[in-house]
Structure 1
Amino acid sequence: MSERAFIPIRIAVLTVSDTRDIADDRSGDTLAARITTAGHILAARDIVRDDRAGIAAKLRNWTADPEIDVIISTGGTGLTGRDVTVEAHRDVYEKEIDAFSTLFTMISVGKIGTSAVQSRACGGVAQGTYLFALPGSPGACKDGWDEILAYQLDYRHMPCNFVEIMPRLDEHLRRK
């Protein structure tokens, strides 16, 4: 870490599940706890069903909210017919952060071996907001936060991080 001051950012957590509610959302709880422990603001939290249009609508609504800087979803990144979170994210992205998927896979291989091929974690940017889709297990949420997002969402992390370029994410919309 550098000698820069910490900048708290506003992060929303979206759980994608047909079976969970807030009372038993362990993955959402894992992310919410890590976000607040790190000093960030839990800006919103919700659960939506495994429905591509519904997920994309929630993502679009949150990317349009100036009080949300980052959206982290959990669930629906697998290979079954109900797993449509990745497709919903990609419906919303203006740009995909390809290396997020690659790095998440590298970390997962070290933890779960070849089973990592079944995860389709992804990241992107839309309307000046970062979006990340993590698998639905608490372990995967811990890995995604502890190994990647805790660093990239911390302005003090060097040599670079997502926070320092956040003001420029939507500069194309301000051009004349």
Structure 2
Amino acid sequence: NFLLLDEPTNHLDMQSVNILVQALQHYEGSYIIVSHDRYFVSQVANKIWWIEDQELKEYPGTYEEWADWAENRRIMQDAQAEKAQATVKLEKPKVAQKQRTLTKEHGRELKKLQKELEDLEQQVLELETEKESLEAEMAEPSVYSNPDLLLEKNERYAKLDESLIQKNEQWEEVALQIEELEG
């Protein structure tokens, strides 16, 4: 017993929608529903499928659980994009003519800090790449359908996020030190 329902609530009033919801909740067969009616989907769905990047994705849970998961995922992606933009927007402090007037000691310190700044930038890029890769893994059905694996990936994600925050803070501190030496 299998039903395929394409926008089944389009021409129904609320009473008819509720009757259909009750019928599907008591139906013992399988069904696939294509619908934009969030109320209806939230009442009858226990697995959500959607298309993203030309791939069919699956979330094993209710519509509300999926919506929460999708919102959290979007927030994390937005935060990551903002951090990446902030990193790009922050320019390396430029060595101007003032460097010529610095003492040799300041010159050595400046070179050391500039090297440290470049190393931190490389570390941030590597962490961001690893984080993007982990996000892609976490979006795979084989990961989010396995609670233990998902927990492991979430813990790794949190550690990466914390490392990124630390590296960006270190970068800002070093950049300020360079500005002070140049100014």
TM-score, normalised relative to structure 2: 0.21
* Higher strand fraction (1 or 2): 1
Which one has a larger percent helix, Structure 1 or Structure 2? 2
* TM-score, with length taken from structure 1: 0.22
Q: Which structure's relative contact order is higher, taking Cα pairs within 8 Å and 6+ residues apart?
A: 1
